[in-house]
Structure 1
Amino acid sequence: MATIEGRFTDASRLRIAVVVARFNDLVTNKLLSGCLDCLERHGIDTSVESNQLDLAWVPGSFELPIVSQSLARSGKYQVLITLGAVIRGDTPHFDVVVAEASKGIAAVSRDTGVPVIFGVLTTDTMHQALERAGIKSNLGWSYALQALEMGSLMNAIESIKSST
């Protein structure tokens, strides 16, 4: 029986793109900070000159799927991370944005075979979003770990496929 799993130690071979929603940037900037900190501590070059990491900004979470799709189809990245924050308001807009962002991001991953980490916070209040972006813990760190694991796992699967 073969056990296939991702590791956090072979990140040096990964090319990663992070797509960040500018809307609710008080939250998304904190998520990005946690994400980049994790990637750097696991060996990813996060400098401006990096050839391992690219960063794309979009207006809001609704736009995450289209840019993620374009990046995934480029063939340049082994994994993508999406970061956004959708905070419930007094209208049904929250439900529409969350549904379309989540379905769109999932479709990108399925259609391209490139793992896309869903790092979109969906909260009832700004306080809840800030707690998840750094007051209590920074989920940006967790999203980066998921990306490292999935990138490594997909590389392991490719190695198995090419050796058979």
Structure 2
Amino acid sequence: MKTEAEDPRSKSYQRSPELQEKIDRLNCVSGDFEAQSYRVAIIIGRWHAFIADNLLAGALETLDAVGITEQQIDIFYVPGAYEIPLAAKRVAQLAQYKAAVTLGAVIKGDTPHFDFVAGECARGIADVSLEYDLPIGFGVLTVNTVDQALARAEQGEANKGREATLAALEMADLLSKLT
């Protein structure tokens, strides 16, 4: 199964002219990725560091590409994915960041541990985002194998750290337009 970024149907998709005409007549609001003056927090789990570091590299390259400077970025390391939501909550409470990105990897093993960690991590991050109106890009991989994780952490457009960063920036810009 291909990800959206790898799926040729996604890359070649063209909206029908009829639908585009309708959309053009509506007031449409969306976010942008242009350089902003706000700060971005990255919360990263150290477990599976050889994967998480690739996600971090993708996130940092993306922030640099859109003009976010090193002085605007703070990185917070936590032991693993389960601890990410608590750190994200504290980051949100500081009210110093307009966007956050969460990075890590949870790889399925032979026990139900994966289900608990992956589910609680995702739920906790979503709860923090909703409670504090903080856009949080979800770059925590939940995969069956190390090879799957490495494929999602490769450098390039399909890097999930990159994708999570773009989502957080787009949402931060969109929310700024909705005030």
Q: Given the two structures, how large is their TM-score scaled by the length of structure 1?
A: 0.89
1:31-69: CA deviations, max 9, x gaps? 0001100110100002xxx1x111000000000000000
The aligned counterpart of 2:42 is 18
Report sequence identity in percent. 41
- Could you tell me which residue of structure 1 aligns to residue 73 of structure 2? 53
2:30 corresponds to which residue?
5
Q: Which has the larger radius of gyration?
A: 2
Q: Determine the C-alpha separation between the residues in 2 that align with 1:154 and 1:106.
A: 16
Question: How far does residue 12 in structure 1 lie from its aligned partner after superposition?
Answer: 2.1
Report SS of the residue matched to 2:101: strand
Contact 2:54 2:155 in 1 (8 A): no
CA drift at 1:13? 2.1
Q: Which ranges of 4 or more aligned residues in structure 1 deviate by more than 4 Å?
A: none
Structure 2 counterpart of 1:37: 61
Q: Look up the SS of the partner of 2:110 in the other structure.
A: coil
Query: Is the contact between residue 63 and residue 101 of structure 1 (CA under 8 Å) also seen in structure 2?
Result: yes
Query: What whole-Å deviation, never above 9, does each CA across 1:61-111 have from its counterpart, x for those lacking one?
Result: 000000000001111011111001000001110001011101100100111
Letter in 2 for 1:139: K
2:178 corresponding residue in structure 1: 157
**SS of the counterpart of 1:56?**
strand
Q: Is the 8 A contact 1:14 1:151 kept in 2?
A: no
Q: Does 1:115 align with 2:135?
A: yes
Matched with 2:121 is 101
Counterpart position of 1:162: none
Question: Counterparts of 1:135 and 1:30 in 2: how far apart (Å)?
Answer: 7
> Within 5 Å, which residues of 2 pair with 1:60-71?
60-71=80-91
Figure out how many residues of one structure are paired with residues of the other and give that number: 153
1:135 to partner: Cα distance: 6.6
Q: Equivalent residue of 1:13, what SS? A: coil
Partner of 2:4: none
8 Å CA contact 2:58–2:155 kept in 1: the answer is no
- Structure number with the bigger relative contact order (C-alpha 8 A, sep ≥ 6) is 1
Cα pair 1:18 1:54 within 8 Å, conserved: yes
Q: What is the distance in 2 between the residues matched to 1:140 and 1:99?
A: 19
Aligned residue type for 2:112? P
Task: Give the letter for the 2:126 counterpart.
Answer: A
Structure-1 separation of matches of 2:60 and 2:144: 26
